[in-house]
Amino acid sequence: MELHSEALIHADGTLVWSTNTFNKGVAGIELQTNGNLVLYDKNNRSVWQSFDHPTDTLLVGQSLKIDTVKKLVSRASEKDGSEGPYSLVMEAGGFA
């Protein structure tokens, strides 16, 4: 796999992961002590952070925002990353 500025690409050319920050002038990256991965522009302003895109793990200090995340799904197991039996759904009125 290769890291191309804001994307991780498999050797066969398949896009594995992307921050969707192309043309936002990413100039720096920081993995903070709380686990938040932050991309910065040349003025040291955050243009993307992993805490805005939770997956199956919430870290201390990470919040859920109704406009960015609709559903969190557990993993099947520690070694199996497929969808597990538990989920948390956010709706305008609260959690479901």
Across 19-44, average pLDDT? 86
Cβ(39)–Cβ(19) under 8 Å? yes
Question: Which of 8-17, 38-47, 54-63, 79-88 has the highest average model confidence (pLDDT)?
Answer: 38-47
Shared-domain flag, residues 71 and 88: yes
Q: Find where tokens 């720096």 sit.
A: 28
Task: For residue 73, give its domain range.
Answer: 56-96
Task: Report whether pLDDT(1) > 50.
Answer: no
The whole-angstrom separation of Cα 84 and Cα 40 is 34
> Is 12 contained in some domain?
no
User: Does the pTM exceed 0.75?
Assistant: no
SS3 58: coil
Residue 67: pLDDT above 70? no
The total domain count for the chain is 2
- Of residues 63 and 50, more confidence is placed in 50
Q: Which single residue is written with the structure tokens 């955050």?
A: 46
Query: Do residue 65 and residue 77 come from a single domain?
Result: yes
Does 16 map to a domain?
no
